[in-house]
């Protein structure tokens, strides 16, 4: 075999092997400084995707902006006092000069026109065009603003304690940098009011910056913990250094190639080092077996070659199966997911190559006496861990029926839990509850209409939105939407027309309605368009009057929250006159909905493809569908229990969970392959065999490597539970759970199944 030749060559020429590995590492590492980061969730979908193209079209047609920050200014005693209003006007003026801000479209009490009746006639100008000089003028301003439904819930709260400034950003502008500058402005003004910054850009770009900072912090910490754990197990700095070096080299190779080919590091690909570090712990099986060979009296060179001969086939097959499982992600339609799957597969193949070259070469150069000393302790049963494994193996064999039934019951319970899973993604929820981003979002959602915005574009014949019945349609649609959960505010052209109609009729509340003639509506729209900012009307209707934009502010960033809005709107359009109107959803809330469906469901589809591919590979490897199925069961068990726990805990199946599901492909199947392959090797040896003893031996000896692998990795990544980002906490906790659960499933249920169905072993092909 090629791997045998590589191992012998590496053992015979270790320095040349290491020099070649070092040269490749330097070459790939040279590309790392060229890294480009992309944290925009929109790029999780292809540029040609319908939702991206549709959103761009809607934004261009109505002069809207995809990225909008919301600055909330809160004074529980009321913001309608001369001092607070002056500060609102000043902070707005300074925000206009912030780099990346689209100044002409900033919406604030000092920039957005309000149509009100005055003794001189109709006035269409911002409320803070002139600052109130005293409390009486401030009170009059308060009454005028709160009487305008276009303002309430968007620019000011209904109780007058909160004002909002909506800050649109240019495409490509960094939301975190803009937010930091706005915070600095607030600090410079020494505003006594409480201020909160929310919106998709600040959450997205703050998460992106914090994500890489925490990856830079916790990756080395996790590596250090794993180093210490390995050192405690093997008591050899050389062995531990070899193991950690395999992980680091594979990460440099995979990430370097990723960057060299021009791919940006996205939210998905930023997790590649974590996955490769997990897969690289497979080298523990090599060190575990090497220790037994050295203790048996074999010389170092002979022990290395015998070790690689014994564990080589399971190492090859487990890494190939892991690579195939990740490569299955390339079958999906989401570009970053495809790239992630391909390059984790590439990194896994790099680990496989290093296992037969770099590892034997370093072992060949290591001091033999120290390697023997590191292996001291005798057979597994002379160690506490070995004795525990022996007891576990005998339990699985002697109580196989009970173990089998308990596993079946746990699987059934997990199926119930899986039925409770909700596919949902909410980036704001990726921050801890006390984080400034999440606090700001919560406060502004409580006081205003909502920080997540969706649009409903209503299309009809040219000129139709000057007709009274069409505006009443918009009015009825908005009324129905306001009754839905998580809908905070709905704004349409009908609201603007009703407001101007009331203003031209001396502000009488009973005139806040849709006029009965198209001519009157046309005149009101002309007054609004000529008196205020063009953008105020542009956001509501296009100039052929054939499309109107209904803005829906949501009080939740849950991806499925907007789904009810879209369904209600389409049902309303189908069953209410006038006919011929169509509804097209758009906006960040709709993007999140589509992203949720396409990305998460795409991940599930790819994961299912990976499961099928892994099963086929197992059946091919063992030349038996039955034994392949048995080896597949720990993976199925781990996946089912993991998903069942997600359902029972009430945790959404979001991006972090979907990413973690792919990890179980590699980890759970890795352990099962080592177990079945080593058991098959022993059964293939000449002479009579006691199945019970062989099963216990497999739990004890290869099982020791499995447990070591699982414990080392679980300890390393448990430290991520200290992160300030919820996805990293999820990664840490669930990765530890995956490792421990899959190792227990392998060492407990496989012996029980083989004991229960011994004829399965007769179907294997000897290695």
Question: What pLDDT digit, counting tens, does each position of 80-115 carry?
Answer: 999 999 999 999 999 999 999 999 999 999 999 887
SS (H, E, C) 367-403: CHHHHHHHCCCCCHHHCHHHHHHHHHHHHHHHCHHHH
- Which DSSP letter does residue 431 get? B
Contacts of 706 (CB under 8 A, 6+ apart): 285, 671, 674, 675, 743, 746, 747
pLDDT at 718: 84
> Which contacts qualify for 350-354: CB closer than 8 Å, 24 or more apart?
350/249, 350/250, 350/253, 350/254, 351/246, 351/247, 351/250, 351/276, 351/279, 351/280, 351/282, 351/319, 352/315, 352/316, 352/319, 352/320, 352/323, 353/6, 354/21, 354/246, 354/249, 354/250
66-199 is classed in which CATH architecture? 2-Layer Sandwich (3.30)
Question: What pLDDT digit, counting tens, does each position of 657-712 carry?
Answer: 877 776 666 666 788 888 888 888 888 887 777 888 999 999 988 888 888 888 88
> Which contacts qualify for 213-217: CB closer than 8 Å, 24 or more apart?
214/723, 214/724, 214/725, 214/728, 215/270, 215/273, 215/274
Does the reported pTM lie above 0.75? Answer: yes
Determine contact, residues 676/750, Cβ cutoff 8 Å.
Answer: yes
Question: What pLDDT digit, counting tens, does each position of 484-510 carry?
Answer: 989 999 999 999 999 888 888 876 777
Determine contact, residues 699/393, Cβ cutoff 8 Å.
Answer: yes
Question: What pLDDT digit, counting tens, does each position of 243-271 carry?
Answer: 889 989 999 999 999 999 998 887 677 77
Per-residue pLDDT, averaged over 622-639, amounts to 84
Nearest to 632 by CA among 662, 668, 592: 668
Confidence class for position 361, pLDDT limits 50, 70, 90:
very high
| Choice between 488 and 639, residue whose per-residue pLDDT is larger | 488
Instruction: Write out the two tokens for 191.
Output: 């505003």
pLDDT at 42: 67
Instruction: Write out the two tokens for 126.
Output: 């911002």
pLDDT at 1: 67
pLDDT at 118 over 50: yes
Interatomic CA distance for residues 739 and 242, integer angstroms: 21
pLDDT at 37: 76
| Choice between 658 and 133, residue whose per-residue pLDDT is larger | 133
Q: In this structure, how many other beta carbons lie within 10 angstroms of the beta carbon of residue 683?
A: 16
Location of structure tokens 């080896």:
631
pLDDT at 379: 46
Question: What pLDDT digit, counting tens, does each position of 193-251 carry?
Answer: 999 999 888 888 788 778 777 777 777 888 888 888 888 887 778 888 888 899 899 99
Helix axes 200-234, 272-280, angle to 10 degrees: 10
Contacts of 357 (CB under 8 A, 6+ apart): 6, 7, 9, 10, 17, 21
pLDDT at 382: 46
Interatomic CA distance for residues 163 and 252, integer angstroms: 49
Confidence class for position 767, pLDDT limits 50, 70, 90:
very low
Interatomic CA distance for residues 524 and 33, integer angstroms: 58
| Choice between 763 and 66, residue whose per-residue pLDDT is larger | 66
Per-residue pLDDT, averaged over 464-472, amounts to 93
Domain 1-65+235-375 has CATH 1.20.1640.10: yes
**Is there a common fold for 1-65+235-375 and 66-199?**
no
pLDDT at 383 over 80: no
Nearest to 559 by CA among 589, 602, 519, 598: 589
pLDDT at 381 over 60: no
Confidence class for position 74, pLDDT limits 50, 70, 90:
very high
Interatomic CA distance for residues 488 and 446, integer angstroms: 9
Sheet with 162-168: list strands edge to edge. Answer: 162-168, 68-74, 194-198
Contacts of 27 (CB under 8 A, 6+ apart): 256
Interatomic CA distance for residues 135 and 348, integer angstroms: 70
Confidence class for position 320, pLDDT limits 50, 70, 90:
confident
| Choice between 121 and 88, residue whose per-residue pLDDT is larger | 88
* Burial degree of 176 (CB within 10 A; 0-12, 13-18, 19+): buried
Per-residue pLDDT, averaged over 156-161, amounts to 95
pLDDT at 497: 92
Q: Give me the chain's average pLDDT, please.
A: 86
pLDDT at 120 over 70: no
Q: Where are the domains of the chain?
A: 1-65+235-375, 66-199, 439-590
Helices (H), 269-299: 272-280, 283-295
Among the residue ranges 170-184, 492-506, 752-766, the one predicted with the least confidence is: 752-766
Question: What pLDDT digit, counting tens, does each position of 575-608 carry?
Answer: 887 777 889 999 888 988 887 777 777 777 777 7
User: Bridge partners of 653?
Assistant: 423
Interatomic CA distance for residues 14 and 196, integer angstroms: 60
């Amino acid at each position: 075999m090629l791997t045998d030749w590589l191992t012998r060559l590496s053992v015979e020429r270790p320095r040349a092997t290491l020099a070649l590995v070092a040269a490749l590492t330097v070459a790939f590492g040279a590309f790392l400084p060229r890294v480009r980061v992309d944290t925009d969730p929109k790029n999780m979908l292809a540029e040609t995707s319908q939702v991206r193209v549709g959103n761009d079209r809607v934004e261009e047609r109505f002069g809207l902006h995809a990225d909008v920050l919301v600055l909330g200014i809160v004074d529980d005693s009321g913001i309608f006092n001369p001092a607070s209003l002056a500060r609102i006007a000043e902070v707005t003026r300074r925000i206009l000069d912030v780099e990346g801000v689209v100044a002409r479209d900033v919406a604030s009490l000092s920039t957005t026109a309000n149509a009100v009746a005055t003794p001189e006639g109709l006035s269409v100008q911002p409320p803070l065009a002139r600052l109130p000089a005293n409390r009486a003028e401030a009170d009059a301003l308060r009454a005028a603003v709160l009487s305008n439904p276009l303002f309430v819930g968007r620019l000011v709260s209904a109780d007058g304690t909160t004002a909002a400034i909506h800050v649109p950003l240019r495409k490509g502008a960094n939301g975190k940098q803009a937010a930091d500058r706005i915070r600095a402005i607030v600090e410079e003004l020494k505003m006594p009011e409480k201020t909160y910054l929310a919106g998709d850009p600040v959450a997205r770009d703050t998460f992106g910056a914090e994500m890489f900072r925490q990856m830079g912090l916790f990756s080395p910490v996790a590596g250090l913990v794993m180093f210490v754990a390995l050192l405690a197990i093997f008591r050899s700095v050389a062995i531990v250094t070899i193991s950690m070096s395999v992980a680091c080299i594979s990460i440099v190779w995979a990430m370097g190639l990723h960057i060299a080919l021009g791919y940006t590091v996205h939210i998905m690909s930023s997790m590649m080092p974590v996955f490769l570090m997990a897969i690289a712990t497979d080298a523990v099986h090599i060190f575990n077996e090497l220790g037994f060979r050295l203790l048996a009296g074999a010389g170092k060179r002979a022990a290395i070659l015998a070790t690689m001969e014994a564990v080589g086939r399971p190492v090859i097959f487990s890494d190939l199966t892991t690579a195939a499982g990740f490569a299955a992600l390339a079958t999906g339609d989401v570009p970053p997911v495809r790239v992630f799957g391909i390059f984790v597969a590439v990194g896994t193949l790099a680990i496989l190559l290093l296992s037969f070259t770099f590892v034997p070469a370093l072992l060949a150069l290591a001091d033999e006496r120290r390697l023997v000393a590191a292996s001291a302790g005798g057979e597994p049963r002379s160690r506490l861990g070995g004795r525990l494994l022996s007891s576990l193996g005998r339990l699985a064999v002697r109580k196989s029926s009970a173990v089998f039934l308990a596993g079946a019951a746990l699987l059934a319970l997990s199926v119930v839990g899986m039925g409770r899973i909700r596919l949902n993604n909410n980036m704001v929820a990726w921050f801890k509850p006390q984080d400034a981003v999440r606090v700001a979002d919560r406060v502004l959602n409580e006081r205003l209409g909502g920080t997540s915005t969706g649009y409903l574009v209503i299309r009809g014949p040219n000129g139709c939105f000057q007709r009274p019945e069409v505006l009443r349609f918009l009015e009825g649609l908005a009324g129905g939407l306001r009754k839905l959960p998580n809908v905070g505010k709905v704004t349409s052209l009908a609201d603007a027309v009703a407001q101007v109609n009331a203003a031209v009729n001396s502000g009488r509340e009973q005139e806040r309605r849709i006029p009965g003639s198209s001519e009157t509506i046309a005149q009101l729209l002309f007054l609004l368009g000529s008196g205020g900012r063009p953008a105020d009307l542009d956001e509501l209707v296009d100039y052929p009057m054939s499309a109107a934009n209904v803005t829906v502010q949501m009080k939740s960033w849950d991806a499925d929250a907007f789904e009810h809005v879209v369904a209600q709107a389409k049902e309303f359009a189908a069953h209410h006159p006038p006919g011929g109107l169509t509804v097209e959803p758009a906006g960040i809330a709709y993007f999140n909905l589509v992203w949720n469906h396409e990305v998460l469901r795409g991940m599930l589809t790819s994961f299912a493809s990976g499961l099928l591919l892994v099963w086929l590979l197992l059946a091919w490897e063992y030349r038996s569908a039955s034994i392949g199925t048995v080896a597949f069961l720990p993976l199925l068990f781990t996946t089912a229990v993991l998903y069942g726990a997600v359902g029972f805990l009430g945790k959404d199946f979001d991006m972090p969970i979907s990413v973690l599901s792919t990890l179980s492909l590699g980890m759970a199947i890795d352990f099962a392959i080592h177990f079945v392959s080593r058991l098959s090797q022993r059964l293939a040896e000449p002479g009579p065999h006691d199945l019970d003893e062989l099963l216990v031996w497999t739990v004890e000896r290869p099982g020791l490597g499995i447990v070591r692998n699982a414990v080392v990795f679980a300890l390393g990544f448990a430290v991520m539970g200290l992160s300030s980002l919820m996805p990293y906490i999820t990664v840490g906790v669930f990765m530890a759970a995956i490792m421990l659960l899959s190792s227990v499933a392998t060492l407990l249920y496989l012996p029980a199944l083989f004991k229960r169905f011994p004829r399965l072993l007769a179907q294997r092909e000897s290695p």
